[in-house]
Every structure is written in C-alpha cells, then in structure tokens.
Amino acid sequence: MMDILKNKKFHWPSQLNQKALQTRLLQAVRNRHGHRPKDADRDTYDMVVGSYNIHKCVGVDNVFDPARIVHVVAELDPDIMAFQEADKRFGERIGLLDPELLKSETGLERVPINTMSPRGLGWHGNALFMRNGKVKDIVQLKLPGVEPRGALIVELDMPLGLIRIVAAHFGLLHHSRIQQAKLILSILEKREIMPTIMIGDLNEWRLGRTSSLKSLAPFFDLRLGTLPSFPSRFPVLALDRVFAYPHELVSNIEIHNSPLARLASDHLPIKAEIDLEGATKLLKERVKQTTR
C-alpha cells in the first residue's frame, strides 16, 4: 500500500468515486456471514448514543482544532457521547476539548469521573458526556495489557430509564484485547441487569473465531456494530464498535461520514439509535418470566 501511495501517478479517488466505493464496501460488510443484516434496522428509537476517537483534536490536515470536533458532535446530536483520546497522553494529561463550548453547542455535560490530572477530562483518554440525565454509579477500570488503557462503566438514570454505558479504548495488541474483553465481561456478569451499551474504539475489525472480542458474545450481540470507521478519509476498518444488551436495545447503527468528520479526526464517529423504553420493558418481562 505504501508503494502505491509513493507512486506519483496514484491519486485518491474523487469524492464521487469514494462515495460509490464506500457504498459497495458497506454492502459487502453487511453481507458478510455473521453480521447483522440491514433489514434488522428499525425506525423506533428514543435516544442516540455516540462514540468518537478524536485523535487529540488533530485532524487529517494535522491542524489542532477542538472547536471542529464540537461541531462534528453537534451534527450527531447525541444524548450520550463517549470520547477517546480526549486528553494528552503524556505529561500532565491536559483535557483537549472545551467542555463549555460542547455544552453550549450540544447541551452535553461531562460525567464527573476521577481524571488522571486536575486539568484532564478523561480516564486513560476516555471521557463521557450526557444530556438530561443523572449519574447512578461509576466504575473506572485500568485494563490489562502492554499499553496503558482504561474503560468506564457508568450507570445513568435517563428520563426514559436506566442505562449502563461501557466506554472503552482497547489496545493495539490482539492478546491485550482478549484480556480486556474478558475483564469487562467478568464485571458486567456481576452487575444489576439493565439495558447496556458497550461503545468505543475497540481496535478490532474481525468477526468470528479470530476476533479478540469473542468472549463478549454471551452478553453482547457481536454482529451489531461492524461498520468501517477508519481511516476517516476512506474508511475500510471497523475499529469503532457498538454492542448492546439486550440485543433489541439498538435500533440502528451508523457511521457519521460528513465532510467535516472526514477532516476533523482520523476516525469517523459512530452512533447508535436505541429504543431504551422498549428494551427496559423487555427486560422487565424477561425477569418476570424467570421468577414465575
């Protein structure tokens, strides 16, 4: 691939050709064995949950522009938003987003976690924001593996009911991701039953037996969120993922591929339209059936 890019005769596809290629690529992904088919999508939803690896607010043009990230998030209009790489990775780990600008543009407010520095926003770069909700519980995990990685497990009381958000940024190494997935599953299995979304940059695009995330299958439907989000200029890898419990919680998953999003970060944001009210009723009915 690098040899091709070095060739002066090589040109990136035009915007029209890129759109056609991405449409065919998305269709190919949707048709892969084991992936949730497009006809499983539903129109019924009452909330939007998003995730965005913001690449420390540095776009593909190498410009540091936090306001541009905020404007992309405003395009998504989420009720809950998870960010990865929201802080500087080294040194004081200063937060890179402007929370006040984000609040004024989107209504999102930061979930109050214990940050890694007084001026930070996140936990190992993971930050979570919400609109019109209350925090019920927060668990901050240091994930196993070679690289320093973390995850947030946050239970929120939203206007339509309780929801648990697992916001994570998994490691680059396959073995590390296996350990990280197993740790999160072991914690979730001990928690109260409630609608749960796992979302973030999980650095895994594989399906089936070769996936480092396969241990999550007893809890989540791993077929849900396999849509290409990286690199933003021409996405081919599904690194940003969404999983749900119960599986019916998610009505639709989309990669937000706007002109600004293609420029603002090397990842495109992913969003899930969810039916929280319907999933809450479904879980209550299941609990009743098991206790009869």
Give the DSSP per-residue string, 70-120: HHHHHHH--SEEEEES-B-SSTT--B-S-HHHHHHHH--EE-----SSTT-
Q: Which pLDDT belongs to residue 18?
A: 63
How large is the average pLDDT for residues 106-133? 96
Q: What whole-number distance in Å separates Cα of residue 87 and Cα of residue 126?
A: 8
Residue 24 lies in a domain: no
Residue 91 lies in a domain: yes
Residue 5 lies in a domain: no
What's the distance, Cα to Cα, between the start and end of the chain in Å?
60
Q: How many domains does the chain have?
A: 1
Q: Which pLDDT belongs to residue 44?
A: 83
How large is the average pLDDT for residues 49-61? 98
Q: What whole-number distance in Å separates Cα of residue 48 and Cα of residue 158?
A: 12
Q: Which pLDDT belongs to residue 290?
A: 81
Please give the residue range of the domain that contains residue 239.
45-291
Q: What does pLDDT average to over the chain?
A: 88
Looking up residue 243, the CATH number of its domain turns out to be 3.60.10.10
Q: What share of the chain is helix, strand, coil (3-state, %, to 5)?
A: 30, 25, 40
The partner residues of 264 in beta bridges, in order of sequence, read none
Q: Which pLDDT belongs to residue 43?
A: 72
Residue 74 lies in a domain: yes
Tens-place pLDDT, residues 185-206: 999 999 999 999 999 999 998 8
Q: Which pLDDT belongs to residue 10?
A: 44
Q: Which pLDDT belongs to residue 28?
A: 56
Assess whether pLDDT exceeds 70 at residue 38: no
Enter the DSSP assignment of 184. H
Enter the DSSP assignment of 267. S
Whether the ω angle into residue 246 lies within 30 degrees of 0, i.e. cis, is yes
What is the value of pTM for the model shown?
0.87
Residue 23 lies in a domain: no
Residue 31 lies in a domain: no
Residue 14 lies in a domain: no
Q: Which pLDDT belongs to residue 3?
A: 43
Q: How confident is the model at residue 82 (pLDDT cuts 50, 70, 90)?
A: very high
Residue 29 lies in a domain: no
Question: Do the Cβ atoms of 69 and 59 come closer than 8 Å?
Answer: no
For the chain, the C-alpha Rg in angstroms (whole number) is 19
Assess whether pLDDT exceeds 70 at residue 169: yes
